[in-house]
Chains A and B, each alone.
Chain A
Amino acid sequence: MASVHMETNGREQPTTRAAASSPTLAGEEIRGTSTPKQEANRHSVQLRVNGQLHAVDLDPRTTLLDALREHLHLTGSKKGCDQGQCGACTVLVNGRRINSCLTLAVMHEGDAITTVEGLGTPDRMHPMQAAFVDHDGFQCGYCTPGQICSAVAVLDEISAGIPSHVTVDLAAPIALSETEIRERMSGNICRCAAYPNIIEAIRTVAGGRP
């Protein structure tokens, strides 16, 4: 049974914390909610993140990404574009990858959320994390948590028989090819262009090559 971690002790604290931190656009918007009139519009939500329950008190505007980063201080998930283009914010919700910047935290009460921190730790890395290290699947590393979460889900999607744009035969089992991996990873941008090594890392985990 997961323990409940209380994010705050009092009502005022979340607003103070948001005002003190967050250089982000969303943080700026949250600061705007500290007027007495709008303070009433807050929602208590229990988020189950990496197996642990967190009770958080949120403005409903808070995206899942901002809740993870600014409220739970899980800063592995990154804010790149904040509009679903880059994939740096990719997390797993009930085992499926989504852009955490394009969903509201209040919509995820009871969902099982896994961030890159929940996949593995520096001492006990997830095979996909280890493969990214082995194959140099990054340069600056900013997109990497999203790439890794996405890659883990991609292999599950192929196993589950979910077709992609490059799947030739909709009726046959899906072959785990480089073409399939490239197409399925197109929602994760790497401006350092570590793509060849990212593909190698994913293929290694998939058992596609030694």
Chain B
Amino acid sequence: MKAFTYERPGSAAEAAAAAVRTPGAKFIAGGTNLLDLMKLQIETPTHLVDVNNIGLDRIEPTDQGGLRIGALVRNTDLAADPRIRRDYGVLSRAIVSGASGQLRNKATTAGNLLQRTRCPYFYDTDMPCNKRAPGSGCAAIGGLNANHAILGASEACIATHPSDMAVAMRALDANVETVAPSGASRSIPIADLHRLPGKTPHVETMLEPGELIAAVTLPKPRGGVQLYRKVRERASYAFATVSVALIAKIEEGRVTVDRLAFGGLAHKPWRVEQAERAVAGSDAAADSIADIVLAGARPAEQNAYKLPLVRRTLSATLEHAREGASR
């Protein structure tokens, strides 16, 4: 690990100001991803601003009938919150499908959103990676790319975003509230938080330097059957090859899609609103939805299996909803 200095401010505004005061500073919350990357010298902050003492660790109702999740709420606490379990089941399901119990106890809401890709070439400092070393090339294109993106990728990067939580938040139309070093706050739709790689895969979000995520807000509950189905290489503690977040309405055995988002397919949670609109009100058929979602998909050499896997996972999820099961 490269040497760094350390401070622990007492408020979000102080933390945001501290992060721009020292060039090369980073926030640290749970630290489960950042410290891993620092040990490998993929992340080399000169200064750490520990945000664990700034509050923002509560889940509170909003005036709009939704919930405001503080940035420092731990993944375990978010998944276990009775209101989340009752009204936003897809979010609870998505969170517990990721990582291990130890990691979820430490990982925070904001940190989960801002975690880096697990592309093996991003992690291997001997290999080219445009995300880690801009301009060095992409070793995954033409390399081991079975777990990589099939949608929204570029000639510069085919990495995926690893979060399950973010996929559920995308389906739920969450908003990300931030505080800038100036003290100004803003609200960013989660659809806009993460960027596609384009020519600058090292720029992963639209956050400005020093801008701190303060909370994630959820709109009022949508109801319906809420499912999260994750396909991975082993039954537990692995990242998704394909995952589906579904909110569906069930009426007399008919399943109508309300919200649908996918993980494991792209540089950000993948949701195609057009697919939701196209099947609105009709009994959902996986293939016709998948045709729309997968339009423009460009698999790499080793991940074309994700095309049929999307169809089958969606089909299985819809079938599960049809059974009226709670998961």
A164 at the interface (CB under 8 A from B): yes
**Contact indicator B3/A41 (Cβ below 8 Å):** yes
**Contact indicator B236/A186 (Cβ below 8 Å):** yes
**Contact indicator B101/A102 (Cβ below 8 Å):** no
The 6 closest A-B pairs by CB, nearest first: A187-B100, A186-B236, A60-B6, A170-B85, A186-B237, A162-B80
Separation of A99 and B1 alpha carbons in the complex (Å): 18
Residues from chain B with Cβ under 8 Å of A123 in the complex: none
A29 at the interface (CB under 8 A from B): yes
Residues from chain B with Cβ under 8 Å of A84 in the complex: 32, 36, 100, 102-103
Residues from chain A with Cβ under 8 Å of B102 in the complex: 84, 87, 90, 97-99, 150, 187
Separation of A83 and B32 alpha carbons in the complex (Å): 8
**Contact indicator B32/A153 (Cβ below 8 Å):** no
Please report which residues of chain A, range 21-77, place their CB below 8 angstroms from some CB of chain B when the two chains form the complex: 25-26, 29, 33, 38, 41, 43, 59-61, 63
Q: How far is the CB of B10 from chain A (nearest CB, A)?
A: 14
Given A102-B32, A187-B103, do A163 and B85 touch, yes or no (CB 8 Å)? yes
Q: Could you say which of A41, A106, A153, A165 has the most chain B C-beta atoms within 10 Å of its C-beta?
A: A165
Number of B residues near A (Cβ < 8 Å) is: 38
A15 at the interface (CB under 8 A from B): no
A12 at the interface (CB under 8 A from B): no
Given A83-B36, A83-B39, do A106 and B6 touch, yes or no (CB 8 Å)? yes
B149 at the interface (CB under 8 A from A): no
Residues from chain A with Cβ under 8 Å of B96 in the complex: 163-165, 167
Q: Could you say which of A63, A97, A154 has the most chain B C-beta atoms within 10 Å of its C-beta?
A: A97
Separation of A97 and B74 alpha carbons in the complex (Å): 13
**Contact indicator B36/A102 (Cβ below 8 Å):** yes
**Contact indicator B101/A153 (Cβ below 8 Å):** yes
Residues from chain A with Cβ under 8 Å of B6 in the complex: 43, 60, 104, 106
**Contact indicator B326/A168 (Cβ below 8 Å):** yes
**Contact indicator B80/A184 (Cβ below 8 Å):** no
Q: Could you say which of B1, B31, B235 has the most chain A C-beta atoms within 10 Å of its C-beta?
A: B1
B71 at the interface (CB under 8 A from A): no
Residues from chain B with Cβ under 8 Å of A97 in the complex: 101-102, 105
12 contacts between A and B (CB under 8 A): A99-B106, A102-B31, A102-B35, A153-B101, A160-B80, A161-B80, A162-B80, A164-B101, A170-B89, A171-B85, A171-B86, A183-B235
Q: How far is the CB of B192 from chain A (nearest CB, A)?
A: 29
A103 at the interface (CB under 8 A from B): yes
B109 at the interface (CB under 8 A from A): no
In-complex Cβ contact of A170 among B1, B28, B326 (8 A): B326
Separation of A38 and B327 alpha carbons in the complex (Å): 53
Q: Which residues of B contact A (CB under 8 A)?
A: 1, 3-6, 8, 28, 30-32, 35-36, 39, 48, 50, 52, 76, 79-80, 85-86, 89, 92-93, 96-97, 99-103, 105-106, 235-237, 326-327
Q: Could you say which of A60, A161, A164 has the most chain B C-beta atoms within 10 Å of its C-beta?
A: A60
**Contact indicator A162/B5 (Cβ below 8 Å):** no
Mark each residue of chain A from 75 to 118: 1 if its CB lies under 8 Å from any CB of chain B, else 0.
Answer: 00000001110010010000011110011101100000000000
Q: How far is the CB of A39 from chain B (nearest CB, A)?
A: 11
Q: How far is the CB of A160 from chain B (nearest CB, A)?
A: 7
**Contact indicator B86/A33 (Cβ below 8 Å):** no
Known: A96-B76, A170-B86. 6 other contacts (CB 8 A): A26-B39, A98-B105, A99-B32, A102-B35, A169-B327, A183-B235
Residues from chain B with Cβ under 8 Å of A107 in the complex: 8, 28, 31, 50, 52
Q: How far is the CB of A206 from chain B (nearest CB, A)?
A: 16
Using CB atoms, name the residue of chain B closest to A185. Answer: B101
Separation of A39 and B76 alpha carbons in the complex (Å): 38
**Contact indicator A103/B101 (Cβ below 8 Å):** no
Separation of A96 and B5 alpha carbons in the complex (Å): 27
Given A98-B106, A102-B31, do A162 and B86 touch, yes or no (CB 8 Å)? no
Q: How far is the CB of B106 from chain A (nearest CB, A)?
A: 5
Using CB atoms, name the residue of chain A closest to B103. Answer: A84
Separation of A99 and B103 alpha carbons in the complex (Å): 7
Residues from chain A with Cβ under 8 Å of B99 in the complex: 187
In-complex Cβ contact of A96 among B39, B50, B105 (8 A): B105
Separation of A39 and B239 alpha carbons in the complex (Å): 40
Q: How far is the CB of B234 from chain A (nearest CB, A)?
A: 9
**Contact indicator B31/A104 (Cβ below 8 Å):** yes
Using CB atoms, name the residue of chain B closest to A29. Answer: B1
**Contact indicator B100/A186 (Cβ below 8 Å):** yes
